[in-house]
Amino acid sequence: MKISREDVVRVAELAYLELSEAELETYRQQVDDILEYIGKLNELDTSNVEPMAQVLSDDQSADATLREDVVVLCDVAAEILQQAPDPEGIYFRVPKVIER
C-alpha cells in the first residue's frame, strides 16, 4: 500500500478539501492504484537527467525582454465584484477570521 487513510486526510487538509468518509476511502484506494502504477518510473535510472519544467527552449520562448512599464487603463473592479459571492462596497466579504 502506497498511501494510507491518514495520508489522504493530511493531503485533503493541505488542499482545503472537505471529503466524506466514503470519499476518503474511495480516493485512497484509487490513488493507491495509480501510485502503484506510477512506481514503474523507478525502472529508469534518472540520476544524470535534468528535470524538465517546461518545453520551450530559449530561442522559442517569448521575448526575454520585459514589456515596457506603462500605465494601462484597467477599470474592471465593478465587473469583477459582480462575480463575487458576497461583495460589499469595493470589498469581498468572508466569514470572520479573527476572534475577539
Partner 1 sequence: MPCPYKNMTAHWTIDGVREALAARKISARELTREFFGRIAARNAELNAFLALSPERAYAKADEIDAAIADGELLPPLAGVPVAIKDVLSTRGTTTTCGSKILEHYVPPYDATAVERLEAAGAVILGKTNCDEFAMGSSNENSAYGAVRNPAAVERVPGGSSGGSAAAIAAGLAVVSLGTDTGGSIRQPGAFCGVPAMMGSYGRVSRYGLIAFASSLDRIGPFANNVKDVAAVLEVIAGRDANDSTSTTVPVPRYSEEIGKSVKGLRIGIPREYFGDGMDAGVRGKIEAGIEIFRKLGCELVDIRMPHTDYAIATYYIIATAEASSNLARYDGVRFGLRAKGDSLLAMYKNTRGQGFGAEVKRRIVLGTYVLSAGYYDAYYLKGQKVRALIAKDFLDAYLKVDAIVTPTSPVPAFKLGERTADPLQMYLADIYTVTGSLAGVPGISVPCGKIGGELPVGLQVFGPAFGEGRVLQLAHAFEAAGGATV
Residues in contact with partner 1 by the rule CB under 8 A: 3, 7-8, 10-12, 14-19, 23, 26-27, 30-31, 33-35, 37-38, 40-44, 46, 49-56, 60-63, 67, 76, 79-80, 82-86, 92, 94-97
Dmax over CA atoms of the chain, in Å, equals 58
- Cβ nearer to partner 1, comparing 1 with 61: 61
Q: Which of 65, 12, 3 is nearest to 34 (CA)?
A: 3
Shortest Å, Cβ 100 to partner 1: 14
- Cβ nearer to partner 1, comparing 51 with 89: 51
Shortest Å, Cβ 13 to partner 1: 9
Rounded Cα gap, residues 33 and 30, in angstroms: 5
SS3 content of the chain, % helix, strand, coil (to 5): 40, 5, 55
Shortest Å, Cβ 66 to partner 1: 9
Shortest Å, Cβ 3 to partner 1: 7
Judge contact between 86 and 92, C-beta under 8 A.
Answer: yes
CA–CA–CA angle 84, 90, 95 (5° rounding): 55
